[in-house]
Amino acid sequence: MNKQFKSGFVTLIGRPNVGKSTLMNQLIGQKIAITSNKPQTTRNKIQTIYTCKEGQIIFLDTPGLHKAKNKLGEYMVKSAKNTFEEVDIILWLVEAEPYIGGGDMHIAEMLKGVKVPVILIINKIDRIKREEVLPVIDKFRKVYDFADIIPISARNGDNTDTVIDVIFSYLKEGPMFYDEDMVTDQPMRQIAAEIVREKALYCLNEEIPHGIAVTVEKMKERKNGLMDIEANIVCERESHKGIIIGKGGSMLKKIGSTARFELEKMLEQKVNLKLWVKVRKEWRDSDIFLKNFGYDEKKL
């Protein structure tokens, strides 16, 4: 007799830069969400699909929960909070630290009244000694009634298999929502734009990354199999434009070459990538620009 097939929706929440995208990529076995050591890398909900014989888990990677300073920030926080009502399980990621900061206490308050199981994922345990993990668990136990607590290292993959097992233990019998070979519902143009933004985050200085967006204007395959991609890197100031381009175009060339390498690996074909830099002043506080760049509140 076959086991019942389970399925459901699981959101990953937490402060910026706690490793949500890294964990999601690790769980599904390939890179979909961009990662960076800079906070607020993820701006939209990113949906990925994990399928096995036991069932199907649809993960929603959300922007980090933080105090919004502009309309883009408000959009990101709303995008994350809306998932509380849409899912069967919440994975709350925290860092393995000896104290609980104000940001995590704020999230604990936000979760009060949530009716679905909340599983605490203590990430980055590779940064502390084994005997220091239990005190971290004990501290968080006192702030919320968790369904389960799992210490992991998303970067190294330590104990991430346990996350899948625990999720399935809480999911109910359900249908296969997506084809078994599908890993994301994100349009390829959006994934390409995010990869370019990730490489810009990696290459650029601290003061610029939050103020950039990337739009893919063209993505077309030639008969010979070469993929032409044309994209705009949008920034808020003329001074930032100069930094993004770099002396003699050196920085833009660096962003382009690293992005092209990643795109070719993902698409499994040669890519001709062309990048331009455009200035759109204060775009993060403009409803029109936010909508044009894919941050549309009406779609939340």
The model's pLDDT over 134-188, given as tens digits with 9 standing for 90+, comes to 999 999 999 999 999 999 999 999 999 999 999 999 999 999 988 888 887 677 8
Q: For position 41, what pLDDT does the model report?
A: 45
In this structure, what DSSP letter does residue 156 have?
Answer: T
Q: Which CATH number fits domain 188-299: 3.90.180.10, 3.30.300.20, 2.30.110.10, 3.40.50.10860?
A: 3.30.300.20
- Give the residue with greater pLDDT, 151 vs 83: 151
Alpha helices per DSSP H over the chain: 20-28, 71-82, 102-110, 133-141, 160-170, 188-203, 238-245, 250-267, 287-292
Count the residues in the chain. 300
C-alpha to C-alpha distance for 168 and 53, rounded to whole angstroms: 11
Structure tokens belonging to residue 172: 């109910």
Per-residue tokens: 8: 């459901």
Multiple choice CATH, 6-170, 3.40.50.300, 3.40.190.10, 1.20.1250.20, 3.30.70.3420: 3.40.50.300
Mean pLDDT over the full length of the chain:
82
The residue whose two tokens read 């063209």 is 218
Q: Of 27-41, 256-270, 284-298, where does mean pLDDT reach its minimum? A: 27-41
Q: What is the pTM of this model?
A: 0.65
In contact, 208 and 236? CB cutoff 8 Å: no
Q: Per mean pLDDT, which of 75-79, 118-122, 217-221 is the most reliable?
A: 118-122
Is-same-fold flag (6-170; 188-299)?
A: no
- Could you identify the residue written with the tokens 């000694």? 129
**Which long-range contacts does 267-273 make (Cβ < 8 Å, 24+ apart)?**
267/227, 269/221, 269/225, 269/226, 269/227, 270/225, 270/226, 270/227, 271/226, 271/227, 271/229, 272/226, 272/227, 272/228, 272/229, 273/196, 273/229, 273/230, 273/231
User: Mean of the pLDDT values across residues 96-116?
Assistant: 87
Whether the predicted pLDDT of 104 surpasses 70: yes
Say what the pLDDT of residue 95 is.
Answer: 92
Domain boundaries defined on the chain: 6-170, 188-299
**Reported confidence tier of residue 43, pLDDT bands at 50, 70, 90:** very low
Q: What is the pLDDT of residue 51?
A: 92
